[in-house]
Chains A and B, each alone.
Chain A
Amino acid sequence: SAVISQKPSRDICQRGTSLTIQCQVDSQVTMMFWYRQQPGQSLTLIATANQGSEATYESGFVIDKFPISRPNLTFSTLTVSNLSPEDSSIYLCSTTGGYTFMNTEAFFGQGTRLTVV
């Protein structure tokens, strides 16, 4: 299994600023994922982050707005840039665990609740 620590757990930010969310996994993992959960909605995948390569973004999400870093096999950051109230959501980090491409169960951090004012 993989234990994911995500911080901050919540933040209130001014519009126009940026927030960087950190995700630390207790073991080396190949793939890490960032999701967004807008109020009352399900989870939507923002991007997939592989170590050593640029993140792969889903339709509707762009690198300028959601830059991602993946400096090593246990850590990733997601920045939400130029914040607007529409960015108020829960952001979750996830991994499917393991340092292989074998499919495994998915683990999630506790999420970061962002409120933009």
Chain B
Amino acid sequence: GEDVEQSLFLSVREGDSSVINCTYTDSSSTYLYWYKQEPGAGLQLLTYIFSNMDMKQDQRLTVLLNKKDKHLSLRIADTQTGDSAIYFCAESISGGYQKVTFGTGTKLQVIP
């Protein structure tokens, strides 16, 4: 079965880089996602990476995928207080069913 795990909490200083890590178990994952959830808000898709890619960069965000180790990371450069939120890693299993399995979420706290 699918299982996606993340560390629960990360604290960084404003201006530093944040790295949020995720491990998953299903090697048939096609899309791997990073979602952001601010307090009282819904899910915002930040970025995603297709499983045949190793890296994707989008402005301050860099996603690294190590398929061999089933490890996904999200790096946020120049972290700002507005980045404080819960970040969910998620995977979409290939095939017609297409359900998304979410990680436990990492709460990022940015200290001014």
The residues of A with any CB-CB pair to B shorter than 8 Å are 6, 31, 33, 42-45, 48, 90, 92, 94, 96, 101, 103-111, 113
For chain B residues 50-91, which have a beta carbon within 8 Å of chain A? 88, 90
B31 and A110 contact, CB distance less than 8 A? no
Q: Are A109 and B42 in contact (CB under 8 A)?
A: yes
Expressed in whole angstroms, the Cα–Cα distance for A66 and B48 within the complex equals 30
Task: State the 3 A-B residue pairs at the shortest beta-carbon distance, nearest first.
Answer: A110-B42, A111-B42, A101-B96
Distance between Cα atoms of A107 and B42 in the complex (Å): 11
Q: Which among B92, B94, B102, B104 has the highest number of chain A CB atoms within 10 Å?
A: B102
Q: Is the CB of A43 within 8 A of B102?
A: yes
Say whether B40 contacts A33, CB under 8 Å. Answer: no
- In contact, B98 and A103 (Cβ under 8 angstroms): yes
Which single residue of chain B is at the shortest CB-CB distance from A110?
B42
Question: B residues within 8 Å of A by Cβ?
Answer: 30-31, 33, 35, 40-43, 45, 48, 88, 90, 92, 94-105
With A33-B100, A42-B104 given, can you name 13 additional A-B contacts, CB distance below 8 Å? A43-B100, A45-B99, A96-B92, A96-B100, A101-B98, A103-B94, A104-B31, A105-B45, A106-B90, A108-B35, A108-B43, A109-B42, A111-B42
B residues within 8 A CB of A42? 88, 102-105
B40 touches A94 (CB 8 A): no
- Given the complex, which residues of A lie within 8 Å of B103, measured CB to CB? 42
With contacts A42-B104, A106-B45 taken as known, whether A48 is within 8 angstroms of B99 at the C-beta atoms is yes
Closest to A45 in B: B99
Contacts of A94 in B (CB 8 A): 100
Chain B residues with CB under 8 Å of A44's CB are 102
Contacts of A45 in B (CB 8 A): 99-101
Chain A CB within 10 Å — which of B30, B41, B42, B90 has the most?
Answer: B42
Q: What are 6 A-B interface contacts by the 8 Å CB criterion?
A: A33-B100, A42-B105, A92-B43, A103-B94, A105-B33, A108-B35
Closest to B97 in A: A48
Best-buried of B30, B33, B99, B104 by chain A (most CB within 10 Å): B99
- Alpha-carbon distance A87/B94, docked complex (angstroms): 31
